[in-house]
Chain A
Amino acid sequence: MNKLLELSTTELSNLISTKKISSEELVSESLNHIKNNDPKINSFITVLEKDALNKAKELDNKLSKNEIDHSFLTGIPIMLKDNISTKGIKTTAASKILENYVSPYDSFVTKKILNNNGIIIGKGNLDEFAMGSSNETSYFGVVKNPWDTNRVPGGSSGGPAAAVSAGFVSCSLGSDTGGSIRQPASLCGVSGMKPTYGTVSRYGLIAFASSLDQIGPIARTAEDCGNILNVISGKDNNDSTSYEKDFNNFNSKINDDINGLKIGVPKDYLKNVDPKIKTILEESIKEFEELGAVVEEIELPLTEYCMDVYYIIAPSEASSNLSRYDGVKYGFRSSNKDNSRASLVDSRSEGFGDEVKRRIMIGTYTLSAGYYDAYYKKAQQIRTLIVKEFYNAFKRFDVLLAPTSPTTAFKINEKTNDPIKMYQSDLCTIPVNIAGLPAISIPAGFDNNLPVGIQIIGPQNGDQKVIQFAHKFQENTKWHLKYPKI
């Protein structure tokens, strides 16, 4: 692999701004690497070969004439998860029901990237409608983990995480509803951040569970994640839950010392975690202590209920959001033309995969008359208590430190027949979405040559602190610089 492809987005951005490399050179190297090696990984659903090269040439030309200002993503190839709408380009959500859907509009983040002269090099594979933890529910086939192609990359942003890990791109955008950025980032040995809910507009993100969904970056380093968030965040009138931060630079704290700052380690997160991952977490704790942080244990007893609260709220919202797929206005339509009701039911039944149907059924049950109070309302009430539990924890601590995933990457097909076992892959990431908090997963070690991530969780709008801690860790460790051989 060309050395250029091992660099972080921040390094590449500097090379382009100082004209040491051209965008065309970088995009060509990326495309070559994708062409030669993505068939082994399957991280892309769509590669925009011609568009990306033409755009790079055009940008180089404009940059040489000083016709455009350089901004962070200028000339940088980026992959977008294929549930992020891109005008004139297929946006499939890795579902048969949207197999041939070409979005007629750009999402908010797509527009932001294009306005900043970033280069969308392709669309990333994912679990169908972002529902899964292994990328095995994709209609376009499983993504393979670049560290071991017999294993899953995690999910649902399996493509975006694997593509950064393999060096196809230096950065990508994923979405995170219950861990879908952080868990694959952990399993693929890259950095992935879910910002505070409301940081990035969800306009044009194909909806899964609207009160939990959040777009975020996957890249080499925490610093990259901050720089990308600077580009894609902000208030958007098309998403009433988005808002402007009272700061404008996610990286403005990265040079600040963490000496004397406090880290809480919630022991309730360690119950079902592999011993080797606990060991790596302990080593990370020592690293932070050497950097001057004060580390203490903390109890978050509601943690054990988070998975059940999530598996009521997320499917409930999904069952409502996915009712729009009816085979009428867009998407797959069944060949059954008996009447419109039969067409609707068959279009959905033939168009959705098993996991999506399972979640629609759960959500339909928990929202149905007679069960709403016992399930959906109850889960929302417990959600209030979980938010409070975190709020109180952050009175004592600057950030929390936990494993990202209870295990390293598991074998393909290992968990496909047991949905509950699969759901447990997200035990450590789900609570963050329930409370709308920012969290990053960064590489912190290896078990049997498989990467292990740790998760730094901040209070609401504590995104800068999360990046600060992660950056300090990466300044003093080399785990994020390891590459798989593919």
Chain B
Amino acid sequence: MKISKKEFENLSKLASLSFESNNENIVSDLEKILSRFESLSKIDTFNVEPTSHVTSLENSMREDKTKTILSNEEILQNSPENTSGQIKIPRVFDNE
């Protein structure tokens, strides 16, 4: 199978990753790996329920109550940049 340049760009965008130069390796790896998956179409899965997890647990819920787990300081200690008790990020909108 082939992944077109446009498809690869779209995929990178969805994954929030950039592969500037030298992306031939990743493209060919992806093509090889995804090609393998074609063999799965041989298996008849008509009317088979998908399994998302293997425990037979159902409705494993907790009470919908808020609780404080970490303080503001504890949360901020790992932030790359913060100011006045808040996380700072680069601007969201470009200048016109």
Partner of A375, one of B37, B81, B87: B37
Q: Is the CB of A368 within 8 A of B80?
A: no
Q: Is the CB of B54 within 8 A of A460?
A: yes
Instruction: Compute how far the CA of A352 lies from the CA of B61 in the bound complex, rounded to whole angstroms.
Output: 34
Q: How large is the interface on B (under 10, 10 to 19, 20 to 34, 35 or more residues)?
A: 35 or more
Chain A contact residues: over half helix, strand or loop, or mixed? Answer: helix
**Minimum CB–CB distance for A318 against chain B, Å:** 11
Q: Is the CB of A241 within 8 A of B55?
A: yes
A326 contact set on B, CB distance < 8 A: 16
**Minimum CB–CB distance for B10 against chain A, Å:** 8
Instruction: Compute how far the CA of A102 lies from the CA of B52 in the bound complex, rounded to whole angstroms.
Output: 32
A197 close to B (CB within 8 Å):
yes
Instruction: Compute how far the CA of A435 lies from the CA of B54 in the bound complex, rounded to whole angstroms.
Output: 6
Q: Is the CB of A241 within 8 A of B87?
A: no
Q: Is the CB of A365 within 8 A of B40?
A: no
Instruction: Compute how far the CA of A419 lies from the CA of B32 in the bound complex, rounded to whole angstroms.
Output: 9
Most buried by A among B49, B53, B94: B53
Instruction: Compute how far the CA of A201 lies from the CA of B79 in the bound complex, rounded to whole angstroms.
Output: 27
Q: Is the CB of B18 within 8 A of A340?
A: no
Q: Is the CB of B79 within 8 A of A365?
A: no
Chain B contact residues: over half helix, strand or loop, or mixed? Answer: loop
Which segment of A268-276, A284-292, A307-315 sits at the interface? A307-315
Q: Is the CB of B48 within 8 A of A364?
A: no
A477 close to B (CB within 8 Å):
no
Q: Is the CB of A436 within 8 A of B14?
A: no
Instruction: Compute how far the CA of A339 lies from the CA of B29 in the bound complex, rounded to whole angstroms.
Output: 31
Chain A stretch 366-386: residues in CB contact (< 8 A) with chain B: 366, 368, 374-375, 377-385
Partner of A104, one of B50, B51, B60, B70: B70
Q: Is the CB of A243 within 8 A of B57?
A: yes
Instruction: Type the 1/0 row for B16-39, where 1 means its CB is closer than 8 Å to any CB of A.
Output: 111100000010011011101101
Known: A198-B57, A305-B43, A377-B50. Is A311-B33 also a contact (CB below 8 A)? yes
A448 close to B (CB within 8 Å):
no
Partner of A348, one of B17, B54, B79: B17
Q: Is the CB of A362 within 8 A of B34?
A: yes
Instruction: Type the 1/0 row for B59-82, where 1 means its CB is closer than 8 Å to any CB of A.
Output: 011100000011000110111110
B90 close to A (CB within 8 Å):
yes
Known: A309-B40, A358-B30, A385-B45. Is A333-B51 also a contact (CB below 8 A)? no
**Minimum CB–CB distance for B57 against chain A, Å:** 6
